[in-house]
Amino acid sequence: WAGERGRTKYPEAIVNSGTLTTKNAVMITANNVDLNNCDREQVQFSGAVQPHGAMLVLAETDLRVLQASANCATLLGTPAVDSLLGQPIEHALGKDVARDIRDHLARAGTDLDSGPVHLMRATLAGSVFDTFIHRVEGGLILELEIVGSETAPLLDLFSQLHATIGRLQATRGLQAFFDLACEQLRWFTGYDRVMAYKFMDDGSGNIVAESVADGVQSYFGLHFPASDIPVPARRMFALSWLRHLPNADYEPVPIVPALNPATNGPLDQSRGLLRSVSTMYSDYLKNMGTRGSMVMPLMKEGALWGLIACNHSVPLHVPHERRMAAEFLAHMLSLLMAAKEDAETYDYRLRIGATIDHLVRSMAAEPVFHHGLIKSEQNLLRCLNTTGAALAIKGELFLMGRTPGEVHVKNLIGWLGARDDGQAVFGTDRLSSLYADASAFQDTAAGVLAVRLIPHRPDYVMWFRPEIGQIVHWAGNPDKPMESTEVNGEIRLSPRGSFALWKQSVQGRSDPWTNVEIQGAADLRRAIVEVILQQAEALDQANRELSRSNVELDSFAYAASHDLREPLRGINNYASFLLRGHAEQLGEEGRAKLDTIVRLTKRMDELIESLLHYSRIGRLDLSVVAADLDIVLDEALMTLAARITDANAEIVRPRRLPTINCDRIRVREVFVNLVSNALKYSKGTDRCRIEIGSTEADVTGTPVFYVRDNGIGIAAAQHERIFDIFRRLHGRDAYGGGSGVGLTIARRAAERHGGRLWLDSALGQGSTFYFTLAPEAGPAI
Ligand code: ADP
C-alpha cells in the first residue's frame, strides 16, 4: 500500500509481508492467559540451574562454598553436595583447579559486577568445563559449563566477525542491515532460525527480519501484543547480553540450600549463564517445536529496542566462543542499528523537506496558491508516507488518495474546529477514541494528522492513516487447528492467538505519527502561510502601484489639459478677431471655415474641461459629511428644472432617500448626470417617466440608489462600453449632443466613495442605473 510512494523499504516490508502460516511464533514468552501471573513472576530467583553445567556460590572473602547446584557431584565429581557447604573451594574442586581459580580471580580483579567473566578452562571428572564467575549480593557465582564437542577456531571466528561488521556498516537502510545481521548470526551460531524482533511504542512487537534454514517455516512480518513478552522477561533481556537455552526439555537442577546463607534470601541469578528459565517459557518453546534457543537484546539509548532470537528444532548447545562472537555482534548491532535508524529518520526528514520545497514552488507558480498544492496529489501524500490526504480551503474541499467520504471529512473538520486548542498541528493514531463518529471510517482514517492553516478558519491540510489491523495481511491458513494449546489446565497462546490478541489491541489504531512527521506537517503549514502572505503582499503591492499610477495619470491629465487650454484660447481669440475685423476680405467661404474653427475650438474646450473635471474627481479628496440625499436630489432636479419642463417628464420619488455620509457635491453630480441622461435618451418614446429611489437590498445595509427611465434602453453589448471616456453611442448631435464623459464621471464619483455604478437595461426597454456610495459586503471568505 505504501511501497510505490517511496516509503522506506524497512517499515513497508514489515507491513506488506504477511507470511504467518504456522504454529507458534513467539520466541520467548512466559505467557499464559492470565498475563498478570507472568508479570509478577520473579524469573531471576529461579532457584535452579540448567543441567549443561553446575554452579557453586562462594563467599567472596575466603571462597567457602555457600550454595551448590545439586548436580555438582555427578557432573564435576565433587563430594556429596551437602558435605560441600561451608567448606573451602579446594574441598569441592581439588587443589589444582582451586588454585587456578584463585589465580585467575586475582587477575580478573574487581570487575565482576557486570556479569560472568570467563576465567579458564578446567578438566574435572574427565570432562572439560568453561568456568565463569560474577558477583551478586551474597557472594560470587562460579558457573562451570560443559564444553561441547566442537570448539571453533577463534581466528576464523574473528576474521568472519570483522568482515561481517564491515558489511553491516556498508548496508543501505535498516531492512538490508537486519537481513544481513540475521543471516550472519545464523552462520555464527548454527540455529535454523534467527529473527530480529522490534518493539513498538505500545510494547507490541513484530518480526522485522529473519533468516531460516531450508524448509523452516518463516515468521517474518508477524505481530505480537505487548503481553507476549512480559515485563520481567524484558527486564532480564536488558540486563544480560545473551540468554542461552540449549535444551528446552531439560530437568531443572535445584540449588542447595534454597536460600543464600549470606542474605537469607533467594539467589539473584539475573546475570547467570545457567539460570533455569520459567517453565512457562520452556513449555512455550516446546509448544512451538523449538528445543534449542538463544536470545540477545538490541538496545538503543539504554532502552530495549528489540531482540535477536534464535531457534532450533532440536537441542543445540552453542559453544562459548560462538556465543561470544554472537554476543559481540549483537553489541555491534545495537550500536550500528541506532546510527542506521537515525540515518533513516534523517533521510525521511530530508525527503519531507524536499517535498515541501517542491510544493512551495508549485504553489508560488499558481495564481491561486492551493491549486499548486493539489496539482500533483502524489506530492501531498508522499510528503508524509500516507495513503490519504485532504485540503480544505476557502470553503472548498479536495480529497486525495484513500480518504473518508466528503461528508465525513467535513464533519471531522467541524469537530476539529470545535475542539480547537490553539495548536496549529493536531495528530492522533486513535481518532475514534476522541471522536466517536470516526469509527465509521477506520479503514481509511483511524489516524489523522491535521494542520490548521489560519487561526479560527476551517482551512486545513489533513493526512489519514488506516487502522493497522486492516493493512497487515494474514496469509495463514485460518483453518489450521493450532489456535491454542491447553497444558495442565493453562491455555497457552499460539502465534495465531497472539496475532488475534495483537489485532484486538490495535483496533481503531493507525500507525503512529512520528516526531519527524509532526514536524514536517508544521513545516508545511509554515510554508503555506508564507505563500499566502507573499501573495497578499504582492496583491497589496499591485494595488498600491495601480493607485499610484492613477494619481500620476490624473496629474498628467490635469497638467496637459490645463496647458492645452491656453493655446486653444489663443486660436479661438484670433479666429474671432479675424471674423470680426476681416470679414470682408475673407469672403463667404473663408467666413464659413473660420466659423467651423471657432466651433471646433469651443468643442475642444468643452472636452478639455470634462477631462479636467474627471481628473479632479480622481485627485481631490472627498469632503464627506452626513448628507440628506433627499435634499441633494432636490438640488440636482432644480438644476435640471427647465429641461424637465421642456421634456414634460414625470418625476417619481417613491420614498424619502436616507441620510448618509458622502461628498454631497459629487453625489449631486451623479444624480444630475443620470437624470439628464434619462431625459435625453427618452426622446421619441412615450411620455418620459423617471423614477428615483433607493433600496436596502444589500446585506450590509448599504443602500442602493437608482434612476430608472422608460427611454430607448441600451443593448447588453454596450453596457460596459458606455463607461469609456468620450464614448457616445450616437451621432455627435443626436439626442441633444454630449461629450460622452457623463457616465465615466458618475462611475468614478461612486467608486471614490468605495461604491460602484452599474446598470440594467435592454434596447427599447428603458434603463435603470444603480449606484452605491460605500463598500458592500463581499462574499464570505
Ligand atoms: P453623453 O450622454 O454625454 O453621450 P454619457 O457618458 O452620459 O455621455 O453616456 C454615454 C452613452 O450612454 C450615451 O451616448 C448614450 O448612448 C448612453 N446612455 C447613457 N444614459 C442612457 C440612458 N438613460 N438611456 C439610454 N442610453 C443612455
**φ, ψ for residue 388, nearest 5 deg:** -145, 150
Are 311 and 192 in contact by the 8 Å Cβ rule? The answer is yes
Whether residue 222 is predicted with pLDDT greater than 90 in this model: the reply is no
Residue 657 CA: distances (Å) to CA of 227, 660, 767: 81, 9, 20
Q: What is the mean pLDDT of residues 292-310?
A: 88
Are 739 and 607 in contact by the 8 Å Cβ rule? The answer is yes
Amino acid at 87: Q
Q: Is 718 in the pocket of ligand 1 (CB under 6 A)?
A: no
Q: Which residues contact 703 (CB under 8 A, 6 or more apart)?
A: 657, 658, 660, 694, 695, 696, 772, 773
What is the grid cell recorded at 226? 505487548
Q: Is 730 in the pocket of ligand 1 (CB under 6 A)?
A: yes
Total number of residues shown for the chain: 781
The C-alpha atoms of residue 536 and residue 409 are separated, in whole angstroms, by 28
Using DSSP bridges, classify how beta strands 659-662 and 625-628 pair: parallel, antiparallel or unpaired.
Answer: antiparallel
Whether residue 478 is predicted with pLDDT greater than 80 in this model: the reply is no
Q: What is the mean pLDDT of residues 707-721?
A: 93
In this prediction, residue 32 carries a pLDDT of 30
- Could you count the other beta carbons within 10 Å of the beta carbon of residue 272? 23
* Closest atom of ligand 1 to CA, residue 711: 24
Q: What is the C-alpha radius of gyration for the chain, rounded to an integer number of angstroms?
A: 47
**Burial classification of residue 652, based on how many CB atoms lie within 10 Å of its CB (0-12 exposed, 13-18 middle, 19 or more buried):** exposed
* CA nearest neighbour of 220 among 196, 254, 192: 196
* CA nearest neighbour of 33 among 503, 507, 499, 484: 484
pLDDT in tens, 112-129: 888 888 888 899 988 999
pLDDT in tens, 411-432: 999 999 888 777 889 999 889 9
**Mutate which of 671, 722, 765 to test ligand 1's pocket (most atoms within 8 Å of Cβ)?**
722
Q: Is 712 in the pocket of ligand 1 (CB under 6 A)?
A: yes
**φ, ψ for residue 414, nearest 5 deg:** -60, -45
User: For residue 743, how far is its CA from the centre of ligand 1 (angstroms)?
Assistant: 7
The C-alpha atoms of residue 46 and residue 252 are separated, in whole angstroms, by 9
pLDDT in tens, 360-373: 888 888 878 888 88
Q: Is 678 in the pocket of ligand 1 (CB under 6 A)?
A: yes
Whether residue 59 is predicted with pLDDT greater than 60 in this model: the reply is yes
Residue 470 CA: distances (Å) to CA of 120, 249, 441, 669: 55, 38, 12, 73
What is the grid cell recorded at 57? 556460590
Q: Is 675 in the pocket of ligand 1 (CB under 6 A)?
A: no
The C-alpha atoms of residue 78 and residue 58 are separated, in whole angstroms, by 15
Amino acid at 86: G
* CA nearest neighbour of 527 among 412, 345, 370, 368: 370
Whether residue 40 is predicted with pLDDT greater than 70 in this model: the reply is no
pLDDT category at 780 given cuts 50, 70, 90 is very low
Q: Is 707 in the pocket of ligand 1 (CB under 6 A)?
A: no
Whether residue 476 is predicted with pLDDT greater than 90 in this model: the reply is no
Establish how many alpha carbons lie within 13 A of residue 596's alpha carbon, considering only the half-sphere containing its beta carbon: 5
Cα dihedral 509→511→512→516 (10° resolution): -160
Q: Is 757 in the pocket of ligand 1 (CB under 6 A)?
A: no
Which residue has its alpha carbon closest to ligand 1 atom 8?
740
Using DSSP bridges, classify how beta strands 127-136 and 117-124 pair: parallel, antiparallel or unpaired.
Answer: antiparallel
Question: How is the chain split among helix, strand and coil, in percent rounded to 5?
Answer: 45, 20, 35
Whether residue 278 is predicted with pLDDT greater than 50 in this model: the reply is yes
**Mutate which of 673, 683, 728 to test ligand 1's pocket (most atoms within 8 Å of Cβ)?**
728
* Closest atom of ligand 1 to CA, residue 713: 25
pLDDT in tens, 239-267: 777 889 999 889 999 999 989 998 888 88
